[in-house]
Amino acid sequence: MSTTPRLAMPYILTQQAQKEVTHAAGLKRLDALVQPVVQQIGLNTPPASPADGQCWIIGAVPTGVWAGQANRLTQRIGGAWVFYAPFVGLVVFDAAKLAQWGWSGSAWTLVAPRLLQASITYDPPRLAAGEGVTTTVDVPGAAFGDFARASFSLDLQGITLPAWVSAADTVSVRLQNGTADAVDLGGGTLRVRMEKP
């Protein structure tokens, strides 16, 4: 059967019998490969009760009806499993981790990490030269090893603003006055943004 070079969409041939079969096969491929959303990356055992249309990225050592299909995108459709070989540039959205993964040609690689955000209204105290103060922001899902960044809605006037995960679901933010003068910022919004590796 003749197919397109990248998505392997089947062509409908001139005077072909049962064109609807070829057309239906193409629609199934489109449903799986256009803006794909997967339930999980790296699953090796087929789920017991998949919903029609759900997709997964199969792990490196698949079992059962997935055996021999390592790293492929699979979709449960029409009561059966359909498997698709990944290609360089294929990016899928991981619904479990709210992240994007791309096929490098040899492995699935995280291309857009999960982002967490939180903010609080904060009025830091007046900071003398060289003085600092630390506050915390609750960020559900934050864990040690995550990347943290902070920003403040007002001009920092030379104050630095490092952020780090100090406990589960908690980010600490330090306002450190590195200038030679006292600084009183006033109240504003302290924002924290996390990247989950």
In CATH terms, 114-196 corresponds, of 2.20.25, 3.40.50, 2.60.40, 2.60.120, to: 2.60.40
Domain boundaries, the chain: 35-112, 114-196
**141-181 pLDDT tens trace:** 899 999 999 999 999 999 999 999 999 999 999 999 999 99
**92-108 pLDDT tens trace:** 999 888 889 999 999 99
- Which residue has better confidence, 19 or 56? 56
Buried b (16+ CB within 10 A) or exposed e, 77-96: beeebbebebeeebebebee
